[in-house]
């Protein structure tokens, strides 16, 4: 994990910050996400049908489940010091190139694209997060995620 002072964050611009540990996506997580969002499509929940009919031969995680794990994964990659709070400010260019099968493992790769001082209290960081799938060529998710750091 990279530990960095907020005032020195820009020294890491245009570089890979690091990688999170691998996290397993369980069928229980997929079910809980489906229940929370109301997205009960069979490709996520019907294990027997998915094994027979889906192109992945398995149930798969919702793309937005994968995206929702980015804060959890990324907080294991970087620890920005000298702030009182971090706010998920938004996303740019969200894409889901590949599906994550139930039981698959993912991790995030973080790159710092930009750092902007908004005012004396706020700094906006733009990261490119690539959610990789263990053993797969294509990532599950690629996104520019924005973090607002408050002093």
Q: What is the number of structural domains in the chain?
A: 1
The dihedrals phi and psi of 103, each to the nearest 5 degrees, come to 90, -10
In this predicted structure, what is the pLDDT of residue 133? 98
Residues 6+ apart with CB under 8 A from 95: 141, 142, 143
CA distance 4 to 12: 9
Model pTM?
0.94
Q: Secondary structure of the chain in the HEC alphabet? A: CEEEEHHHHHHHCCEEEEECCCEECCHHHHHHHHHHHCCCCHHHHCHHHHHHHCCCCCCECCHHHHHHCHHHHHCCCEEEECCCEEEEEEEEEEECCCCCECCCEEEEEEEEEEEEECCCCEEEEEEEEEEEECCCCCCCEEEEEEEEEEC
Neighbours of 137 (CB within 10 A): 8
Here the CATH number for the domain that contains residue 124 is: 3.10.129.10
Neighbours of 28 (CB within 10 A): 9
pLDDT tens-digit series, residues 15-37: 999 999 999 999 999 999 999 99
Please, is 68 exposed, middle or buried when counting C-beta atoms within 10 Å of its C-beta (0-12, 13-18, 19+)? middle
- Residue 54 domain boundaries: 2-150
In this predicted structure, what is the pLDDT of residue 10? 95
In this predicted structure, what is the pLDDT of residue 62? 98
pLDDT tens-digit series, residues 69-86: 999 999 999 999 999 999
């Amino acid at each position: 994990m990279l530990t960095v002072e907020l005032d020195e964050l820009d020294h890491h611009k245009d570089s890979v910050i690091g990688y999170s540990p691998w996290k397993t996506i369980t069928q229980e997580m997929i079910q809980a996400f489906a229940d929370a969002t109301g997205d009960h499509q069979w490709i996520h929940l019907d294990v027997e049908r998915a094994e027979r009919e889906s192109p992945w031969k398995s149930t798969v995680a919702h793309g937005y489940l994968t995206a929702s794990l980015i804060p959890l994964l990324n907080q294991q990659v970087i620890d920005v010091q000298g702030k009182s709070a971090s706010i998920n400010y938004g996303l740019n260019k969200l894409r889901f190139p590949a599906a994550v099968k139930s039981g698959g493992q993912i991790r995030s790769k973080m790159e710092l694209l930009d750092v902007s001082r908004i005012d004396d209290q706020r700094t906006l960081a733009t990261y490119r997060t690539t959610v990789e799938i263990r053993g797969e060529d294509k990532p599950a998710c690629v996104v520019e995620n924005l973090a607002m750091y408050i002093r």
